[in-house]
Every structure is written in structure tokens, then in C-alpha cells.
Structure 1
Amino acid sequence: MLAVLAQMSLLIACGTFWKTFAPAHISASAHRRALTDLVFYILLPALVLNVIWSAPLDHSSLQISFLAACGILIGMTTMWLVLKWLKASRQQTGALLLAAAFPNATYLGLPVLNQVLGPHSRVIVLQYDLFACTPILLSFGMLLAQHFGDNKSAVHPLHALLKIPPLWAVTVGISLNLAGIPQPEILDSGLSMLAGGVVPLMLIVLGMSIRWHSLRLRFMGLLLPVALITLVLTPFCIFGLSQVIGLTTELIIPVALISAMPTMVFGIVICERYGLDSELYAAAVTLTTICSLVTLPLWFHWLSVS
């Protein structure tokens, strides 16, 4: 795990370096947006379709989705209780609730688990994220952001979901899978080739998305609970719940590790759209990502011996 995280950190550092020293004829945000769009609209849907089409879909898929939803509920509820004792504005409250609830399952979880546990873990990550986290974020999460934010412009959650290409790929993949249609070899090769670019580009984009300047001492009182909930409490609860519902042994470790991922980067977009405190959310992403370099190896070691 330490060797894998060192490799991941190198790619994240490349993203940070590129953000700072990219050619001046294009802004850093434009560079990041171009890479994000490439992954989001082409490469990630190819990976999702390739994996979901041939993956076994059974009751374990429902268990993974259930645990993902429980992780969101645990994180958000705990943060809501903590905020009763902390002084935070409405915009900060909305940002912190999102930050504590939604893990960076795909953009960090996919690269880490793919390297540590092998390619078979990709379907678990995608089911955890695309069967539960992303739909909940773009429905309930957006309604929550609209409630706490300054921007009250109504965006119907269904419209937001329809604009997510990976979810379309999930729908097509499930349909082809359940219909028993075999994947042509030429299509499998093409999708695999596109999917190969997902992991390195995701990590580079993650490095470009981290806002180091957002880490301020005045935020720490609000950020430390987010880090503890995201990196410690939620994965511990998910580990316990996975045993209660009878999740198979080979799924417990990947599901618990996914739930231990730092705060989801995509939430910054939600915060900016609805007028939440995006700087505070970005600081949560930065802090939890840094701390996860320590907590993830500890979780992996503990889960392995357990």
C-alpha cells in the first residue's frame, strides 16, 4: 500500500506542478477543465461500460450500494450533530455536510484499489460510486446545497443525472449484461485502451484540483471533524455493517477502503454552483487527501489482519 500511495502521490504532484507551471497561453483552470472533460465524457464512460458489461451483477451489488448509502448517511448525520456545537454559517454548514458525506471513490479510490487489490476491484468501486454516491449527490446533495446556499436557482435533480455520461454507461452496461449479450473482442480491446488513460489522468486532475492555499488555520476547527468522520468513523461503521449484512469476505476490504477515501473533489462544483463556501470545501478536500496518505495504509493493514 505504501509503495502504491507513493506512486499515486507522484502523479498527484505532477498535477500540482502542471497547475503551477503549465504554458501561459492557456489558464490553469482551462487545462484542468480539458483533462476533466476528457476523462468524464470519454475515458470514464468507456471504463464503466467495459467493466459493468462483463461484471457479475447479483445481490452483492445491492449490498455494496446499500453500504455506500449508509456511509453517506453516517457521515452527514454525524457532521450535522457536530455542527450543533460549532459556529458555522449556512454556506459553511452546507459545504461541511457534503464534505463529510461523499468520499472520493472514483478519482482516488479507483486508482488505489486497482493497484493494491487488482483489476477485479474496479467493478466494486464503480458500483459503490455510480450505483449510490453519485446519484445521491446529484439528487439529495443538490437539494441540500440549494437549501443552504446563496444561489437558489432551481436545477431539477433528474436533469442533472441525465447529464452524467458515466451513469449512461452504467445503464447501457447493465442492460447488455442482463440481456446476456457477449462483448465483441474488438469492442473490448477498444474500451480497454480508452480505460487505460483513466487512472493517470484522474490523479493528475486531482493534483490540479487541490487548492493548497485554502488550508487556513481559522478553518481547522471545522475541518478536523470532517477528517475524523471521513477517514475514521465512516469506514469503521461500514466495516461493522458489512459483517452484519453478511457481505462476503473478499468484498469487505475493498468496500471498507472505498469508504475510507478522502472528500470527493466533484463537490467543489456543487458548492460553486449553489453558493456554498467552496473555499472551505476545497480545504476539506486538501486536508483529507493529505491525511489519507497516512490513514489508508493503516486501514489496509488493519483490514488485512482482521
Structure 2
Amino acid sequence: MLISIGRAVYLPIFTAVALGYLLSLGLARLGSARRPVLAGALRQAQRLPQLLSRYLFLVGIPLCVVNFVRAADLSLSVFIAPLVAWMAMLLAIVITWASLHVSTRVSSPGEKGSLLLLSYIGNTSYLGFPVILFLPQLGPDYFSWAVLYDVLGTFFGAYVLGLVLASMHSGDAPTGVPFWQQGLREVLRNPSLYAFTLGLALRPVPLPRELLTLLGGVAWLSIMLCLVLMGIRLQQLSSWDHLDIAMRPVLIKMLIVPLVIAAGLTAFGVDGPARLVLILQASMPCAVATVVLAERYGLDRDLVVAAVGLSTLLLVFTVPLWVVAFTSWS
């Protein structure tokens, strides 16, 4: 099983991540050389992460959602996913909040706010989607579970609840627009929410084979570009300090909460591929969105960056752990 996971999951994922890392590293070194002849081209090339991120948010990920949701095996039980997502997020917040009240190591509001965000906002799209799709035990048939976990769970948790928590612990909160208006605007601007609805609407509609082939090709290409972007972001992480403090939310996010969720799902009779999808999504690394929130609200950016990098590296060990422990079918 471990060999099949390595070949099916790690090989494509880490090849694409390594490509993004090396690409970003090469651009950084060319930029530091300050060559006048390449100055204009380098300025355009350094916009690549922003352009790629915008493409994936507006086009790539929504097309993935439409493509895979349209073909997925759906039932009403799939809507358990956002409920589990919210249970996992609230559990992480409670555990982190309790740990902050018994520990004296973390004192500043910025650190406390950062730890709360890191403990529950997971990378359930850019990493969660590829892991679910590449795993031979899961694949496209169970992608809709991952989508609902992300779109109706993680995204709301990050840009609604996350804005609330960040503003409560902020030393430098933006002024002018109330956080609830910011959150509502972010949610309504999320194309994946509309893409999921479109995917459902297109399920009974026969589409030309050529269009389906094109849509599938673009969807898989976008998944690989998500991983390339993750490699670029990892190379751009500027600080690996505070690893001792960063380990706390990482363990809560990637080990404690998924174990509790797994026990709860099992107790309520949820098993098989659906249980594995939900456990994997609950155990995804800390999201890059936490860096954005930390910068916007003046939290501890270095702590957040360290936790994002550390948790992403730990994904190598946690995926086989959950797959081996909770694959109960042949």
C-alpha cells in the first residue's frame, strides 16, 4: 500500500511542488543578479505567482469543481462534509484556546491569534484536492466530498470566522469596512461556490465528448498548477523561526483533531472512502490563507510562515498514516 501511495500520490505531487520551488528559486537568483538586460522580463516573470494564483482562484479550481462534481457519485450523505468541516474547525479552536489558557509561553495577542488561525484553517483545496484525486483508494468519485468540505467549510472558516478571530487579536486591523462585510464579500466572490452549483446542474445534461475531454484536461492541468504554486509559495517563505511554538497548532491541526473526527465518524457509522476523505481533509496542512490574514491584521507573520512550512513538510508522513489506518475496503 505504501508503495502505491508513493507512486500515485507523492510522485506527481512532489514533482510539481519541486518544479515550482526551483522555478521560484531561479527567478529569485536572477533578480538578485541585477542584470539590466533582463530587468523587464524578470519584472514580468516575478508576477507569475500572483497571476497563477488568480487564474486558479477564478478559473482553474472552479473548472475542476465543475468537471469532477458533474461526474461524481453523489448522494445526500455527501452534505455531511461541511458539517464535519465545521466540527473539526470548532474543535481545533477549543483545544487551542484551552491550551493558551494553561500555557505562559505565548503572551502577545498577535501570537494567540496566529495560533488560533493556524490550528483550524487547512489547505483543503490546493493540497487537499490533489491528494484526494491522486489516491488510488479514492479518486474523482469522491471529489465532491472534498469540494463541499472546502467550499462550505474551510472557505467560510477562513474568510468569515477567520476575519473575526484575526480582528479580535489584531494590533493593526484595517479600518473602514467591518469584518463581517469583508467576510460576506469574500464568500460571495468565491467562484468555486457557483461552480459546484453549475456542476450539479450539468449532471443530467449530455455534453459532447470533445468538450468533456477538454474540460477534463484543463481540470487536471489546474490541479498540477496548484502544486506548482505551492512550491513557489514554499520557496518564498522567509522565516523558519518559532518552530517550537509552531509545532503546537500543527499537531492540533494534523494529528489531534483528525483522530477525534475519525473516532466520531466511526462511532456514527460513517466508514469506507467517505470517512477517509473527511479525515484527510481534516488533517491537511495549515493554509497559506493564514499568512494573508496575519499580514492584513498585524499578527505574528513569522510564526504563521513557520507553521505553514512545517505542516506542509509533515504531509509526507501523515497521508500514509491515515490511509493505512482507515482504509477498510479492498
Partner of 1:60: 77
* 1:91-114 Cα deviation digits (max 9, x unpaired): 222121111101111111111221
Secondary structure of 1:106 counterpart: coil
User: Does 1:214 find its partner at 2:236?
Assistant: no
Deviations 1:252-299 (A, max 9, x none): 112111211111122222222222222221111101111121122122
CA distance in 2, matches of 1:48, 1:173: 7
After the TM superposition, which of the residue ranges 116-125 and 235-244 deviates more from structure 2? 116-125
Contact 1:107 1:206 in 2 (8 A): yes
Q: Partner residue of 1:198?
A: 222
Contact 2:132 2:139 in 1 (8 A): yes
Query: Which runs of structure 2 are paired with 1:126-165 in the superposition (5 Å)?
Result: 126-149=147-170, 150-153=172-175, 154=177, 155=179, 156=181, 157-165=183-191
TM-score (norm 1): 0.90
Aligned pair partner of 2:12 in 1, 7, 27: 7
Give, in angstroms, the shift of residue 13 of structure 1: 1.6
Distance 2:154 2:49 in 1: 23
Deviation at 1:6, TM superposition (A): 3.9
Equivalent residue number for residue 302 of structure 1: 325
After superposition, where does 1:4-43 map in structure 2 within 5 Å? 4-22=9-27, 24=31, 25-26=42-43, 30-43=47-60
Deviation at 1:29, TM superposition (A): 5.4
Contact 2:122-2:285 within 8 A present in 1 as well: yes
For 2:110, the equivalent position in structure 1 comes to 91
- Aligned equivalents of 1:167 and 1:94: distance in 2? 27
Whether the aligned pair in 2 keeps the contact of 1:20 and 1:28 (CA below 8 Å) is no
State percent identity of aligned pairs.
Answer: 26
What amino acid is aligned across from residue 239 of structure 2 in structure 1?
S
Aligned partners of 1:103 and 1:263 also within 8 Å: yes
Shift of 1:227: 1.7
Task: Encode CA deviations 1:199-247: one digit per residue, 9 max, x unaligned.
Answer: 211111111112454211xx13321111211111111111112123332
Please tell me whether the aligned partners of residues 294 and 300 of structure 2 are also in contact (alpha carbons under 8 angstroms).
Answer: yes
Q: Is the 8 A contact 2:69 2:143 kept in 1?
A: no
- Residues 81 and 149, structure 2, Cα contact 8 Å, conserved in 1: yes
- Asked if the contact 1:230/1:260 (under 8 Å) is kept, the reply is yes
Instruction: Write the deviation string for residues 127-157 of structure 1: whole angstroms up to 9, x where unpaired.
Output: 1111211122211111211222222433412
Q: Is the 8 A contact 2:272 2:328 kept in 1?
A: no
| Residue from 89, 93, 103 that aligns with 1:72 | 89
What TM-score do the two structures reach when normalised by structure 2?
Answer: 0.84
Hey, what's the Cα distance between the residues in 2 that align with 1:250 and 1:75? 23
Q: Distance in 2 between matches of 1:262 and 1:182?
A: 38
Q: Distance in 2 between matches of 1:260 and 1:71?
A: 9
Equivalent residue for 1:50, pick from 67, 77, 90: 67
Cα 1:250–1:269, aligned 2, differ >3 Å: closer, same or farther? Answer: same
Report the counterpart of residue 120 of structure 2 in structure 1.
Answer: 101
Correspondence for 1:113: 132
Amino acid at match of 1:207: G
| 1:162–1:168 CA contact under 8 A, matched in 2 | no
Aligned residue in 2 for 1:275: 298
* TM-superposed deviation, 1:69: 0.9
The aligned amino acid for 2:111 is Q
Q: In structure 1, the residue corresponding to 2:154 is in which secondary structure?
A: helix
Are 1:166 and 2:192 counterparts? yes
Residues 1:174 and 1:268: Cα distance change in structure 2 (over 3 Å): farther
What is the rounded CA distance, in whole Å, between the counterparts of 1:268 and 1:238 in structure 2? 26
- RMSD of equivalent CA atoms: 2.2
Letter of the aligned partner of 1:193 in structure 2? G
Q: Who is 2:36 aligned against?
A: none
Structure 1 CA distance for aligned equivalents of residues 193 and 131 of structure 2: 22
Letter matched to residue 233 of structure 1: I
Structure 2: runs of 5 or more not aligned: 32-41
> Aligned-pair distance for 1:87?
1.6
- Partners in 2 of 1:278 and 1:168 — Cα distance? 32
Displacement of 1:185: 4.4
Deviations 1:66-91 (A, max 9, x none): 11111111112111111221323212
